[in-house]
C-alpha cells in the first residue's frame, strides 16, 4: 500500500504535509500487524471452538482497540479528520474483531469505533472491495479491476 501511495496519492492518505505522519502511520500499522492480528486470531479461534478463554482472548485485543477508540474520540478518522493509510490498513482486522461476537460488540464501550466502521460500510469503495466474484477459470472472460 505504501509503495502505491508514494507513486500516486490523490486523496493524501499519507498526510504528506505532516512531517511525522508516515512514521506514526507505520508504527500503528506495525502494531496492528504484529500484535493485534495475533491476538485477533486467538480470539476468533476461542470463539469458534467455544473455548472457555474467549473473554481473555478478547481482552488481549483490547489495548489496540482502546487506542483506536481514543484516537477516534479526537478525530473523525484514526490519524486525523481525513482518511489515511491506517484507516484502510486496519479496517479488515477491526471489522473481523467486531464480528466475532456481534452482540457483545454492539454493547462494548466503543461508540466511535462503531461509527467509524459504519462510515466505511456506507462508503462505495467498501462496497466495491467487498464484491463477490465467482471462482475465475481459464475459460472465463478477463476481469480487470478498476474498470467498469
Task: Name which CATH class applies to 2-129.
Answer: mainly alpha
Burial class (CB in 10 A: 0-12, 13-18, 19+), 138: exposed
* Number of neighbouring beta carbons within 10 Å of residue 53: 14
Q: What does pTM read for this prediction?
A: 0.88
CA distance 141 to 138: 8
The three three-digit cell numbers of residue 64, written as one number: 489496540
Residue spans per domain, the chain: 2-129
pLDDT in tens, 47-101: 999 999 999 999 999 999 999 999 999 999 999 999 999 999 999 999 999 999 9
Amino acid at each position: 500500500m505504501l509503495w502505491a501511495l508514494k507513486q500516486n496519492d490523490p486523496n493524501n492518505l499519507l498526510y504528506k504535509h505532516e512531517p511525522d505522519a508516515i512514521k506514526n502511520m507505520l508504527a500503528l500499522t506495525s502494531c496492528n500487524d504484529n500484535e493485534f492480528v495475533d491476538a485477533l486470531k486467538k480470539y476468533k479461534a476461542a470463539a469458534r471452538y467455544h473455548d472457555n478463554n474467549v473473554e481473555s482472548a478478547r481482552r488481549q485485543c483490547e489495548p489496540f482497540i482502546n487506542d483506536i477508540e481514543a484516537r477516534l474520540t479526537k478525530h473523525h478518522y484514526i490519524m486525523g479528520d481525513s482518511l489515511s493509510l491506517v484507516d484502510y490498513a486496519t479496517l479488515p482486522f477491526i471489522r473481523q474483531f467486531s464480528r466475532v461476537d456481534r452482540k457483545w460488540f454492539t454493547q462494548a464501550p466503543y461508540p466511535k469505533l462503531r461509527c467509524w466502521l459504519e462510515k466505511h460500510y456506507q462508503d462505495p469503495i467498501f462496497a466495491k472491495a467487498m464484491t463477490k466474484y465467482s471462482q475465475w477459470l481459464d475459460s472465463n472472460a478477463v476481469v480487470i479491476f478498476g474498470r467498469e
